[in-house]
Each structure stands twice: as structure tokens, then as C-alpha cells.
């Protein structure tokens, strides 16, 4: 049960609103120094100029508060910093066009960022989402988009120089099969981010809370793994980790860091883990079960 749902059962609406605003203020005060400390401020402001309005980032809900916008923009900054690093690392002969495919893209925002930052490069962008409404909205922005399940991409023969996957792997029932299928393509890099947890766990919160209701892949976490365990899965599934890092939603230098760490773990996630992967079959080729 969410904090808001719980409070509705025991408190008047005015007090509930006050508590919600207090929580939002705490999170904003945590996020802003975290962005500065992790040297994401320049790209944060750059992204704000490229796409000023990210209110309709998701089809299921709007980013309708200062907190939600700050949180999303900070997360985007971390993700695009990884994409920039991946673009710089691509080796081989020059190509007229670099193809970037964003798997699970909800609004085309990240591809707008990439095109805005790398105006000097000929980049073709393609979005993939199972949600037809998301695909429609992305196409309205003049971007290419396909309505498809992530697991079905190999059968569609979609090729990319760089694949992107932001907060998507934790929603898959078979992340190993999906990762391996992409490693068999001709891509040069795969940029992924997932929620950061210290200890691996199974999500499936609707079952934990005994809520017998229909759920969708888009809002259901299955595997929430630690960075150490994600690295093992990446290697097992045909990838080498070229670079990885953790983005935290609080400052390590804050005098309240121990409290903020517990606070974020209680109500959200401490942060997000991101990796730049390169195809490497040195481990996956040793497994006879594919």
C-alpha cells in the first residue's frame, strides 16, 4: 500500500496534503545536491533547454509536481551521460548514420535529447514500446516508433549501433534470454539502467501484498538485482561491462546521508545502476543451455 493510500484511511485530507508536500520537499532538497555532487548539473540544464516540458513523459500519469519533474530530469541526466559515453566509445570505420534504438521508450524524450546534443552527427533514432498510445505520441514528435514487445525484437530483425534500455530489464520475465538475443545482433553497445538495490530480491509487490488484481508488465517489477548480480547476468548473456556506475538520489556528503539513504530505500529507491555493455561471448559460449 502506498503512503498516500495508507494515510487516506486514518487522516483528514488537509493533513494528508501537508504530509505529501513535506515528503516532496524533502526529496527535492535531497535530489538537487545529489545532482551537483555527481557532476550532472551541466547536462541537467542542457536537457532542460532541449526539452523544456516533460510533464507527459508517461502515458499512465503526468509529472505534475516540481518533485516529479526534478526526479525525472535528474534520472534522465544520468542516463544521457551514459549514452554520451557510449557514443564516444564506438570504434571502427566512420559511418554516415548511427542508429540508436530505445527499447521501452515512453515519450521519445531521450531521443530528442540525443538529437539535440549531437547535432553534428547523423543519428537515426527508433523507439520501441508495447504501449500503442506511447508509440502514437512518439510518432507525433516526428520520431520513428514501433509497437512491439521487447522480447520480440530479434524476430523483427531490428538492428542498431546502440540499444538503450532505461528501467526496463526489471520488468522482464526472462532478462537472460532478452539480453542474449540482443548480443547476437550487430550492435556495438547497449546502455542499460535499472533501480539500484544493495541486495537482490524479487519484486512482484502485488503478490507480496496479496492484491489479487490484473497487472501489466509496464508497472510490475519482477527481478530487482544488485549491481554485482546484474554484472553476472550480463556476462552470462553475452556481454562485457565496459563501464558502470551508480547514481544516488541523495548526497554522500550530506550530514543527513544515513537518514536519507534509509528514507529513499523506504519510499522509492536509493538510486539507479547504469552500465555500458559491449558484446562479448567469452562466458555465454560456455553455457550449453541456450
> In this prediction, what percent of the chain has a pLDDT beyond 90?
71
Sign (positive or negative) of CA dihedral 216, 5, 19, 205: negative
**Mind listing the pLDDT tens digit for each residue in 216-241?**
877 899 999 999 999 999 999 999 99
Lowest mean pLDDT among 87-101, 103-117, 238-252: 87-101
> In this prediction, what percent of the chain has a pLDDT beyond 70?
93
Q: Which of 4-13, 140-149, 228-237 has the highest mean pLDDT?
A: 228-237
Q: Please, what is the average pLDDT of the chain? A: 90
Q: Which fold has domain 3-286?
A: Rossmann fold (3.40.50)
Mean pLDDT of 48-72: 92
Where does the pLDDT of residue 263 fall: very low under 50, low under 70, confident under 90, or very high at 90 and above?
very high
Domain ranges of the chain: 3-286
Q: Strands, DSSP E only, in 88-222? A: 98-103, 123-129, 144-147, 162-166, 189-196, 201-202
- Cα 20 from Cα 78, distance rounded (Å): 26
CA angle, 60 as apex, 56 and 66 as ends, to 5°? 45
List Cβ neighbours of 139 (8 Å cut-off, separation of 6 or more). Answer: 145
Q: What is the pLDDT of residue 7?
A: 54
Q: What is the pLDDT of residue 217?
A: 78
Instruction: State how beta strands 201-202 and 123-129 pair.
Output: unpaired
- Cα 196 from Cα 146, distance rounded (Å): 29
Among residues 244, 208, 233, the alpha carbon closest in space to that of 284 is found at: 233
- Name the strands in the sheet holding 189-196, side by side, starting at the edge strand that comes first in the sequence: 144-147, 123-129, 98-103, 162-166, 189-196, 271-279, 239-248
Amino acid at each position: 500500500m502506498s503512503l498516500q493510500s495508507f494515510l487516506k484511511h486514518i487522516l483528514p485530507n488537509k493533513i494528508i496534503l501537508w504530509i505529501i508536500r513535506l515528503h516532496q520537499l524533502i526529496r527535492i532538497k535531497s535530489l538537487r545536491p545529489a545532482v551537483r555532487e555527481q557532476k550532472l548539473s551541466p547536462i541537467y540544464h542542457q536537457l532542460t533547454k532541449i526539452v523544456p516540458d516533460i510533464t507527459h513523459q508517461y502515458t499512465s500519469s503526468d509529472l505534475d509536481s516540481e518533485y516529479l519533474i526534478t526526479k525525472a530530469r535528474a534520472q534522465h541526466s544520468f542516463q544521457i551521460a551514459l549514452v554520451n559515453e557510449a557514443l564516444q566509445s564506438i570504434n571502427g570505420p566512420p559511418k554516415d548514420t548511427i542508429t540508436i534504438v530505445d527499447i521501452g521508450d515512453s515519450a521519445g524524450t531521450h531521443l530528442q535529447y540525443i538529437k539535440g546534443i549531437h547535432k553534428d552527427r547523423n543519428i537515426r533514432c527508433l523507439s520501441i514500446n508495447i504501449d500503442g498510445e506511447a508509440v502514437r505520441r512518439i510518432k507525433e514528435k516526428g520520431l520513428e516508433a514501433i509497437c512491439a514487445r521487447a522480447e520480440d525484437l530479434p524476430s523483427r530483425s531490428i538492428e542498431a549501433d546502440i540499444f538503450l534500455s532505461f528501467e526496463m530489464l526489471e520488468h522482464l520475465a526472462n532478462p537472460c534470454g532478452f539480453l542474449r538475443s540482443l548480443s547476437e545482433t550487430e550492435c556495438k553497445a547497449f546502455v542499460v539502467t535499472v533501480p539500484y538495490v544493495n541486495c537482490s530480491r524479487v519484486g512482484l509487490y502485488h503478490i507480496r501484498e496479496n492484491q489479487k488484481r490484473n497487472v501489466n508488465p509496464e508497472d510490475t517489477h519482477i527481478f530487482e538485482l544488485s549491481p554485482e548480480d546484474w554484472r553476472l547476468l550480463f556476462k552470462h548473456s553475452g556481454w562485457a561491462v565496459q563501464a558502470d556506475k551508480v547514481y544516488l538520489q541523495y548526497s554522500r556528503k550530506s550530514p543527513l546521508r544515513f537518514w536519507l539513504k534509509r528514507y529513499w530505500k523506504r519510499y522509492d529507491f536509493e538510486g539507479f545502476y547504469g552500465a555500458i555493455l559491449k558484446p562479448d561471448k567469452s562466458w555465454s559460449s560456455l553455457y550449453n543451455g541456450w
